[in-house]
A and B are shown apart, each in its own frame.
Chain A
């Protein structure tokens, strides 16, 4: 049976550069689903103080992250000493629609991998 990915949502609460309509709608769809998921207030803020929680997230196996640009998210984890595992999917709330993100975050493992997700 395929490993169930950990779902992580970043609120970008410390500078609000992610469109609020998108991030609110993504959170709503996650909340409305029956899924377990992790949320953080702001990945940048956690990287700033090398929060050990980033290590826990990076080590939890398969990850799907709704945050911002994949290059930035990858760099943030690396800078915090918690490089993301290969195959991590990063969905960009600054460029994709809420429906696209929610659909990819909540898809089952046997559904096709999305063209919009980035490793």
Chain B
């Protein structure tokens, strides 16, 4: 799975000075085909702002219909960016995509359909840096900056289609842009959304303010009951019921639950996360006065 790779190629559909404008239908087909393959494409005409060359050391591929089918030789004056130009007169969209693929060569690139960008995005205009997300996530997605500010640090660890952390955020400040429904998808937060999340925190405080301690107690009670009743079927049944409820409520997808670490590992991780959150909270300005 490729995730952390900068795009190796920037494509420019050039219709400016010295090039012939493409037929409208062909232009749309080429743009659509390249975008759907995962490429970034700029269209440059004689009017409007000009596209900027990449600031990294990647390749700029300029495609255009040129007089006498002769693409110009181009060079970046700074020598940092490799610029290639190709004539695409009479080529159909499929051939143009093949030409771009060939120019990219073996350089890796995320491709649509093979990977879904799924990770939390923090709305810092709402976030109060309470660290509940850091304490909650068992997959180490969250971390803390040098300024003790909550950050998404390991987005590759996030479990696809799981929006659970956004639901424990008391300020509805965590978004998943690829989620279908609002406000998790980034839609405006209504008073009702906010109230719903606050209610969840209240439920959490009913459990003693520490959901992991409650889970630990529950696990201990279950172990004790299991040892008394000696009924593995009953224990398994109860576990299935709990998981089914979480899935049916849309809180956590089934495959995420299936990938959870062992109970011991969960407890260990939760202790580590709690300690990190507590340290970050203690280091925040005014923490001493508030406590």
Contact = CB atoms under 8 A, between A and B. Distances in A.
A119 interface: no
A107 interface: no
A41 B5 contact: no
What interface size band does chain B fall in? 35 or more
A91 to B, nearest CB: 14
B28 interface: yes
B24 A32 contact: yes
Contacts of A13: 35-36, 38, 112
Interface string A11-54: 10111010000001001101110111111111111111111110
A75 B175 contact: yes
A13 B110 CA distance: 11
B172 to A, nearest CB: 10
B132 interface: no
Contacts of B155: 48
Interface stretch (B44-52, B93-101, B243-251, B268-276): B44-52
Interface in B1-56: 3-7, 10, 24, 27-28, 31-32, 35-52, 54-56
20 contacts: A11-B35, A15-B116, A15-B117, A15-B118, A28-B28, A31-B27, A32-B24, A32-B28, A34-B46, A37-B48, A44-B119, A44-B177, A49-B3, A49-B110, A53-B40, A68-B186, A69-B177, A71-B175, A71-B188, A94-B185
Given A15-B117, A48-B119, 11 more contacts: A14-B110, A14-B116, A15-B116, A32-B28, A36-B50, A36-B51, A38-B42, A52-B6, A55-B55, A72-B185, A73-B177
